[in-house]
Amino acid sequence: MRSAKIRLYVEHPLAEGQTVPLTREQAHYLFGVMRQGAGAAVLLFNGRDGEWLAEVAEAGKRGGALRVLRQTAPLRRPPDLWLLFAPIKKARTDFIVEKAAELGAARICPVQTEFTNSERIRRDRLQAHAVEAAEQCGGTYVPEVAELQKLDRVLAEWDATRRILFCDEALAGPSSALAGVGGSDAPWAILIGPEGGFSDAERARLAALSHARAVSLGPRILRADTAAVAAMTLWQQALGDWR
């Protein structure tokens, strides 16, 4: 078995014998940065068809092509878990998206709360972070990063069959309360507030939702990025694919 450590996300369908064209950026990375040439082995995934071994068929400065040889892993979907979070400073927002992709979120939804400073996000840049995290971490699935939406509107249009786990010091119950809630295939979302916390109106609204549940993340106040990772960890262990 030849070893192929470089993993690339591509949009193209993947199947034995397929030829996959490379974008200019991918060609620059593979041939310029990583010094690969014709015949080099690369692992490909597109978020739908699993992971495939491919070899470089054509290497050029501005493009190239790969030939798909055989499947090396099936598609592994994460559980049906969404991560809703209020964007914070750039580096910490990037971090939350990277960690959500690593920890197995199916969808990443930036939401604007009353105390959120950001009024816009660079969706394409955040999506690229999710792709890079999947490339690095052996994932075969890439969570979609949604457009920024107001939390009010998101909650107004919410499908109540998807439960919400939210993390708020003021309303928190013990984290063990999560055990045994909902079947393993039940859709869930984790909601993380902004650095300033939720407003009183948001808190009251969340507390009144029968499909929402608050958990504690311990006696110390966590930053939003830490809270996102900790909440996903607790969820994956209690209800997700870490069991």
Q: Which residues contact 96 (CB under 8 A, 6 or more apart)?
A: 83, 85, 88, 192, 224, 225, 228
- In this complex, which beta carbon is closest to its own copies, that of residue 49 or of residue 98? 98
By the rule CB under 8 A, 83 interacts with its own copies: no
Residues 95-134 that bind its own copies (CB under 8 A): 95, 99, 102-104
Residues 159-178 that bind its own copies (CB under 8 A): 174-176
CA separation for the pair 43, 69 (Å, rounded): 10
Give the rounded distance of the alpha carbon of 131 from its chain centre: 9
- In this complex, which beta carbon is closest to its own copies, that of residue 70 or of residue 243? 243
Write each residue from 195 to 224 as x if it is in contact with its own copies (CB under 8 A), else as -, in one continuous string: ---------------------xxxxxxxx-
SS3 225: helix
Shortest distance, position 85 Cβ to its own copies, whole Å: 15
CA separation for the pair 238, 233 (Å, rounded): 9
DSSP code at position 157: T
Shortest distance, position 222 Cβ to its own copies, whole Å: 6
CA separation for the pair 105, 185 (Å, rounded): 14
Tokens encoding 103: 């920890």
| Residues 196, 113, 226: CA angle, nearest 5 degrees | 50
Shortest distance, position 204 Cβ to its own copies, whole Å: 23
- Contacting range for its own copies; rule: CB under 8 A; set: 19-27, 113-121, 135-143, 206-214: 135-143
Q: Which residues in this chain contact its own copies in the complex, by CB under 8 A?
A: 76, 78, 95, 99, 102-104, 136-139, 174-176, 216-223, 226, 229-230, 233-234, 236-237, 240-243
